[in-house]
Structure 1
Amino acid sequence: MAVRFIHDCDTGSDDAVAIFAATAHPELHPIAITTVNGNVDVAHTTENTLRVLDHAGARVPVYAGATRPFVRPDFPVPRAVLNRASQLHPEYLDFPVAVSRAEDQGAVSFLIDAYMDDANADVALVATGPLTNVALALATEPRLAARIPRLVIMGGAHGNGNVTASAEFNFWVDPEAAEAVLSAGIRDVVIVTLDATHSAPLSGADCDVLDGIGTPAARGAAQLIRHRLEHDQAAASGEEGGGEVASPVHDPMTVAYLVRPELFTETVRAHASVETSGGRTLGELIVDTRPWCPQPPNATVALRASGQVYREFLRAAFGQPASG
C-alpha cells in the first residue's frame, strides 16, 4: 500500500520538486497539502502549490495556512530585506496560473480535524517549511501530539546554517514554532538537516535524466533543479574552482525517506531543541548527544544521505525503471 501523508510546505523551488515527486511516485499518496508563510508569503506559496499540482495533473486538496510566525510579528530579518539580492525563490514559480483553487477550510483547522480522525491514524506529516502551522495546531489541540504517528521535518543544521552561521532557514524563520513542535512529545520525529541534504547534491546530469523521462512532472522538476544550479553557480562565481556544479535539493529528501528509509546513511538519536533567544544563534538546532543528557531523545537527526538512493527515488518517482 502507498504511504499516506500530509505535506506542510512553503512552496518555493525545492518544495515544488517534492510535490512533483510525491504525486508521481507509485508508493506515495499525499492526501492533502497545507501551505505556510516562508520562502514567499502564504498567498504565493498557495498559488505556487496549485500551479505545481495543475502542471502535474494531480488532484490533491490544498489548505492555506499561517500568514506570520507563531509568536513573532515577522521574520527576525524581514523577507524583503533577507531576499533582496536572491532570486532562488521567486514569488511565482514559472508554471501557468493555477486553475484549481484552495479549499475554504484553513490549514490549522484541517490538520486538527485530520489527525483527530481515527481513519488517519497511519497518515505521516511531512513539513518542509517553517513549522508555524504545526505549532498552531498543537497549541490549539494538544492531543494532536499523540495522534501524529510520524513527523518528518526538513530543518536545522548540525554543522553550518544557510541563513546564519548556525541556523537553517525554516528554523530561523520561526524558531518558537520549531521549539514548540520538537517539545510537544510526538513519538516519531525525523529531522532532515542541511548536513544530510548537502551530502547528496544533484547536478545537470540528473536534470538530463529527468528531462529524458519526459513527463510534465519530470520536466518540471528538472526545470526547478536547473534554476537552483544556476543560482548556486552565480553565487559561487567569485570562488576558485571549476567543473560541474552540484546543488542540494533539500525538501524531496523528506518524502524520499517515507519509502526509502535507507536514504540516510548517518543518523543520531538524541534530544533536539531550537534556540529562540540567542543574538548570534537564533534558530540553531541543538542536538544533545551527551551520554548524560538530562532529557530523553525526542528525534532522529539525519546527518548524511546516499546520493545513489536519492537518485533512485527520483527516477522511480518520475517513471524510469530501476535498470534505466
Structure 2
Amino acid sequence: MKNVYFDHDGNVDDLVSLLLLLQVPDIRLLGVGVVDADGYQEPAVAASRKIIDHFNTHHQDLSVAASDSRPVNQFPKEWRLISYSFNAMPLLNRRATLTTPLAPVSAHQDMVAKIRQADGPTTVVMTGPLTDLARALTVAPDIAAKIERVFWMGGTMNNQGNVNEPGRDGTAEWNAYWDPQAVHTVFHAGVPLQMIGLESTDELPLTDELRQHWNQMVGYPAVDLIGQGYALVLSYEANSTYYLWDVLTAMASQYPELVTTQAIEGDVLTTGPAAGRTFRQPAGQPLTLVTRADKAAFFATVDRLAQSATYQP
C-alpha cells in the first residue's frame, strides 16, 4: 500500500485531483493540506472536506489541514474566486454538516506528523506552491529520508512563464513565484523531485471537445462534478489556454506510464525581475522533468477513476 500526502491550493484542477486520488486503488491517502494561493483557503478547505465526505470509500481517518503559509506574491483575485463557486456545487452540498474533520494543526505540521507516523515511505504530491513542504523540511529535516518522491506542478524550463505582473520579466510560473525561496529550499533538500512544468501538459488542453466528452458521460456523479468544475474555467487572459496541469501531476504520481520524463539539473532564482524562474543549470540540482503526456492513456485513466467513484449523498 503506497502512502500519499496531497497538498493543494484550491482551484478547480486541484479539487479534481483530490477527487481522482481518492479513487486510486492500493494507495493510502494520509492527509490533505490546503494553502491559500490559487484559491481562497476557506472555500477550498470546505470543498476538500465535502469531496471527501461524498466520494471517499477507501481511506480511513482522513482529515484536511489548513495551511498558515503566506505568500511572497499572491495569485490574481480573479483566478482565486473560482474556489467559492466550486464549493457551492449542488453535488457537494447535499449534507447539512461536514463529517471529514479539520486537522488540529497547520498543513506543514500535519505533513510532518503524517510522514513520521507512516509505515514506510511517503509520496508527496504538490499542486500548489512548495511552501508547506519547505517549512516541513525546515522544522523536521528527518522526514526527507521518509519521502519517496515529490511530484510538483510548478515552474517551467523553457523561460515561458505565466506571471505577467508589473516589474516581472514573464519567465516565472505562478506556483514558483508565490514563494521562490520555498522552491529553492525544496530543490536543495535532497529529496527526489519530479517537476510537471507549464510545458509538460502541451498535449492536455481544456477544449470544447473535452467538455462535451464529459457532458455526454451520463450517470456518473464524479464525472458530473468534473464537468461542472471545468465549466467554471474560462481563459484567464486573451488568447490563453488552460491545461490540466494539476491533474497530470496527480495522475503521474500514481501512473508513471502516462508521462515521458527526462533527468535534468536545475535551479531557481529567488530575487529580481525573474524571481521564481526555474531553469536548467549544469551541475545544478538533480530533477526529473515531465516532457510529454500520453493524451489517450491520460484521459482514459481520468475517465476510469471518475466512473469508479461511489457518490454518498
Normalised by the length of structure 1, the TM-score is: 0.81
Q: Could you tell me how far apart the structure 2 residues matched to 1:40 and 1:198 are? A: 23
The residue that corresponds to 1:242 in the other structure is: none
Q: Quote how far apart the aligned CAs of 1:194 are.
A: 0.8
Q: Matches of residues 61-140 of structure 1 in structure 2 within 5 Å? A: 61-69=63-71, 72=72, 75=73, 78-79=74-75, 82-84=76-78, 86=79, 89-93=82-86, 94-95=88-89, 96=92, 99-100=98-99, 101-117=101-117, 119=119, 121-140=120-139
The letter for the 2-side match of 1:39 is D
Which residue of the other structure, out of 267, 280, 286, is the alignment partner of 1:287? 280
| Structure 2 equivalent of residue 252 of structure 1 | 247
State whether residues 22 and 29 of structure 1, in contact with CA within 8 Å, keep that contact through their aligned partners in structure 2. Answer: no
Offset, 1:179: 1.0
Between the two proteins, what is the percent identity of the paired residues?
Answer: 23
- Indicate the SS of the match to 2:275: coil
Give the SS at the match of 2:37. coil
The size of the alignment, in residue pairs, is: 291
Query: Superposition pairs for residues 207-226 of structure 1, below 5 Å?
Result: 207-211=211-215, 212=217, 214-226=219-231
Alpha-carbon distance in 2 for matches of 1:27, 1:308: 23
Cα-to-partner distance string for 1:145-200 (whole Å, 9 max, x where unaligned): 222111100001122111242111110111111111111111x2100011012332
Conserved in 2, the CA contact under 8 Å of 1:55 and 1:217? no
> Is the CA contact 2:9–2:34 (under 8 Å) kept in the aligned structure 1?
yes
The answer on whether the counterparts of 2:31 and 2:110 sit within 8 Å (CA) in structure 1 is no
Q: 1:26 to 1:207 in 2, by over 3 A?
A: farther
SS at match of 1:277: coil
Distance in 2, Cα, partners of 1:209 & 1:88: 26
Tell me if structure 2 keeps the 8 A contact 1:24–1:217. Answer: no
Structure 1, unaligned runs of 5 or more: 240-244
Instruction: Give 5+ residue unaligned stretches, structure 2.
Output: 165-169, 309-313
> Shift of residue 294 of structure 1?
3.0
What is the alpha-carbon distance in structure 1 between the residues aligned to residue 202 and residue 29 of structure 2?
A: 25
* Corresponding residue of 2:178: 173
Alpha-carbon distance in structure 1 between the residues aligned to 2:173 and 2:82: 15
Structure 2 contact 22–56 (Cα < 8 Å) conserved: no
Counterpart position of 2:10: 11
Is the 8 Å Cα contact of residues 222 and 307 (structure 2) preserved in structure 1?
A: no
Corresponding residue SS for 1:149: strand
CA-CA distance at 1:135 after TM superposition: 0.8
Q: Secondary structure of 1:126's match?
A: strand
Please say if 1:299 is aligned against 2:301. Answer: no
CA distance in 2, matches of 1:142, 1:259: 25
1:200 aligns with 2:204: yes
- Name the SS for the 2:263 alignment partner: strand
Task: State how far apart, in whole Å, the 2-side matches of 1:213 and 1:285 are.
Answer: 42
TM-score (ref. length: structure 2)? 0.83
Whether contact under 8 Å (1:193, 1:301) holds in the other structure is yes
Instruction: Give runs of ≥4 in structure 1 deviating > 4 Å.
Output: none
SS of the residue corresponding to residue 11 of structure 1 reads: coil
**1:315 to 2:303 alignment:** yes
Backbone CA RMSD of aligned residues:
2.5
Does the residue aligned with 2:10 lie in a helix, a strand or coil? coil
> Given the superposition, is the C-alpha separation of residues 15 and 106 from structure 1 closer, same or farther in structure 2, using an over 3 Å criterion?
same
Alignment partner of 1:276: what SS? Answer: coil
Structure 1 residues 245-301: Cα deviation after superposition (integer angstroms, max 9, x where no partner): 974121111121123212223x3212222210022x11111122xxxx234x52101
* Deviation of the 1:216 alpha carbon: 2.2
Cα distance in 2 for partners of 1:27, 1:131 equals: 26
Code of the aligned partner of 2:131: T
